[in-house]
Amino acid sequence: MIIDAHTHVGFDGVIPDASVERLVAALRKADTDKALVFAGRINGCPTERLVEALKPHQGMLYPVGSVSPLEAEKPNLKTVEVWLRDGLIHGLKFYSGYEYFHPFDEVLRPYLHLLAKYGKPAIFHSGDTYSKADKAKLKYALPIHVDDLATEMPELKIVIAHMGYPWVTDAAEVCYKNANVYSDCSGFVYGKFDAPQRRHFIELFKEFMRVVRTPDKLLYGSDWPVAEPSSYVPVVKALAGKNARKIFSENAMRVYGIE
């Protein structure tokens, strides 16, 4: 089984050609069985609309909600608890860097306590930000900041997106140090890998694994529509080797609580 633990869709043209139908087609082309799909204001994809859009694909596409904690129109805690209690979402994505908060900021704590209560992960954008995103600030997206949160809330599962690139060693160390922290390997190419991009990704993947020392901490993810899963899957398969089941499915099943 292959689970893509990091994908997006968009509505109203905010992300061109990022419809649910195109995501399903891209996953099938890559022989991918299931995917986590992230909501996000930055993508024009509010949680409520994502949940509705994915209902025809239950068992294949799993919604992950999003909260923009500094926005006046953020969902209230009762709404988020209903999402989690009723299994409508399987975690919350936070866009640190694109939005100006650190993972350890107190403004997030009420949402994080709900995630811990229901055994679902908090996913933080980490590392580099999309070149076309206006006014994103890297200082909020450093993976080392996750360590503060992880030590203060050891009961909370946390996912560092994108292996914290370019701070891959830092992200791996935070995962190694904290039993409750994981990472995904998504978003390392626009479109398909060419030879230089593949070599670069291989170096970074191996560096992450060198520091983290276990395959239990890494989840496969593509970051569709940024990257093509049909190109991503074979590259990660070659690197995963005997650990392919953990990286491609078992870790995501454990972290997100899906089957």
27 or 75, which is more confident = 27
pLDDT of 230: 98
Output the furthest CA–CA distance in the chain (Å, rounded).
49
Q: 77 is written with which tokens?
A: 């805690």
As a whole number of Å, the CA-based R_g of the chain is 17
List, in sequence order, every beta strand (DSSP E) within 72-214: 92-94, 122-124, 158-160, 181-184
Mean pLDDT (the chain) is: 96
pLDDT above 90 for 4: yes
The band of 140, judged by pLDDT with boundaries at 50, 70 and 90, is very high
pLDDT above 70 for 132: no
Range 3-256 classified under CATH 3.40.190.10? no
C-beta separation of 89 from 123 below 8 A: no
- Measured CA to CA, the distance from residue 44 to residue 243 in angstroms comes to 36
Best CA proximity match to 256, nearest among 232, 227, 220? 220
- Measured CA to CA, the distance from residue 159 to residue 41 in angstroms comes to 19
pLDDT of 145: 98
Count the Cβ atoms, other than its own, within 10 Å of residue 31: 11
Distances from the Cα of 112 to the Cα of 84, 120, 160, angstroms: 12, 9, 15
pLDDT digits (tens, 9 = 90+) for 161-179: 999 999 999 999 999 999 9
Question: Which strands form 218-219's sheet, in the order they lie side by side?
Answer: 3-8, 34-38, 61-66, 92-94, 122-124, 158-160, 181-184, 218-219
CA triple 78-64-90, angle to 5 deg: 75
pLDDT digits (tens, 9 = 90+) for 188-234: 999 999 999 999 999 999 999 999 999 999 999 999 999 999 999 99
Count the Cβ atoms, other than its own, within 10 Å of residue 91: 26
- Measured CA to CA, the distance from residue 160 to residue 43 in angstroms comes to 19
